[in-house]
Copies of this chain bind each other. A is one copy, B any other.
Amino acid sequence: MQFSKSTDYALHALVHLGHSERCNNVGIKELSSALGVSESYLSKIMSKLRQDGIVRAVPGVNGGYELARPADQISFLDVIQVIEGRQQLFECSNSSSRQHRLLAEEGAAGRDQKRPGKNECLVEKVMNGAEQHLHQYLQEHTIQSVLDEAFKRCSHEVNKK
């Protein structure tokens, strides 16, 4: 299991856009040369990001891309979910198997607090818990937080001299 290269490209592209904020739009040429990816492939990815409202795009001369909202409102989770999709990280394949049903039977504890019909297998339960933790972390980290960190490094560098 791995994140796709597209996610890598998307994240790096957004950091680049965030960095060039006050300038005009950034064209696919500049982006692709900065990231070292082909224009054709990267444009597919940018298109996805646009469809999901992460970036804006204008065609024509001097066109290009820009962030659709402030960089501190674009979380890693947002980006990942656009590129990788919003499916669960883990799903039990055969919910009708003996083993699954055994682990999914709602005990008394569950029946009191949770809505009926949930019927979550105990293996799923652990995995979904893991996913929630992951999501929380990824939501707390934004494009802006990368920019901040980069700036911090840079200014330390200057102080040394």
Contact = CB atoms under 8 A, between A and B. Distances in A.
Given A103-B146, A107-B157, A8 B134 contact: no
A77 to B, nearest CB: 9
Contacts of A127: 3, 76
Given A89-B1, A123-B146, A154-B107, A99 B16 contact: yes
Interface of A: 1-5, 7-9, 11-12, 15-16, 33-37, 76, 84-85, 87-94, 96-100, 102-103, 105-110, 122-123, 125-127, 129-130, 133-134, 137-138, 141, 145-146, 149-150, 152-154, 156-157, 159-160
Copy total for this chain: 2
Given A5-B93, A76-B130, A84-B1, A100 B12 contact: yes
A94 B37 contact: yes
Contacts of A16: 99
A159 B109 CA distance: 11
Given A2-B1, A2-B87, A87-B2, A102 B150 contact: yes
A13 B100 CA distance: 10
Nearest to A7: B90
A26 to B, nearest CB: 12
A131 to B, nearest CB: 9
B34 A153 contact: no
Tell which of A1, A35, A84, A146 has the most Cβ of chain B within 10 Å.
A1
